[in-house]
A = this chain, B = another copy of it.
Amino acid sequence: MPARAGQTTRKTRIQSANRERIMAAALEVFSRDGFRGATVDRIAETAGMSKPNLLYYFKGKTDVYHAVLDDQLDAWLDPLRTLDPDGDPIDELRNYLLRKLEMARDYPRESRLFANEIIRGAPILGDELAGPLKALVDEKAQVIREWIRVGRLAPHDPHHLIFAIWATTQHYADFDTQVRAVLGRDGEDRFVVAARFLEGLFFNGLRPR
């Protein structure tokens, strides 16, 4: 292997390793403090590097923020993409619901990152929402609509159904502080109860059958 290739590889490794360290730190800080609340200093410190060195890898605070959002968006929307038109409607939606809940449990920072961004009015992600996200949701709404048409699902507005799944699951990440405060320290794991509850709510509703 020629020296050049070796050099290039090592450089690239440091580059990507450092970019990843920064983005991990940025996820941590942005999700906790929001865009305005976050400081480059804190991100650099969290990433274990000097501020100017961080700015060697990213043009500025906004650039880092942008990169983190972009980096996470795909993974964040992945569960919805897997909703299979050919699967069993109840199974598909249950899986989606539970997978979203798992993500709220396992990736609360990502959830809060997006929550912060959207509450702010999505200054960065605005186009992404109106473009790719809307397209994806519209597509899946059509799937749900078809399921309803063939009588395999009770008739409900499909867009708002998706909103409801987002809202109820991400609530356990975004509003975790409140959930914990209200539930107190005792009792079963909140995510286990939440899973059971949401399944019951979504598929059977509150009215006794």
Spell out A's residues near B (CB within 8 Å): 32-37, 90, 93, 112, 115-116, 118-122, 126, 129-130, 133-134, 137-138, 151-157, 159-161, 163-164, 166-168, 170-172, 174-175, 177-179, 181-184, 193-194, 196-198, 200-209
In angstroms, how far is the closest chain B Cβ from the Cβ of A141? 9
Within the complex, which residue of B152, B160, B184 is in contact with A198, where a contact is CB–CB below 8 Å? B160
Q: Which of A119, A171, A175, A203 has the most CB of B within 10 A?
A: A119
Q: How far is the CA of A179 from the CA of B119 in the complex (A)?
A: 11
Q: How far is the CA of A119 from the CA of B36 in the complex (A)?
A: 14
Whether B200 pairs with A201 at a CB distance below 8 angstroms is: no
B-side contacts of A198, CB under 8 Å: 160, 164
Q: Which residue of chain B is the closest to A185 with respect to CB atoms?
A: B130
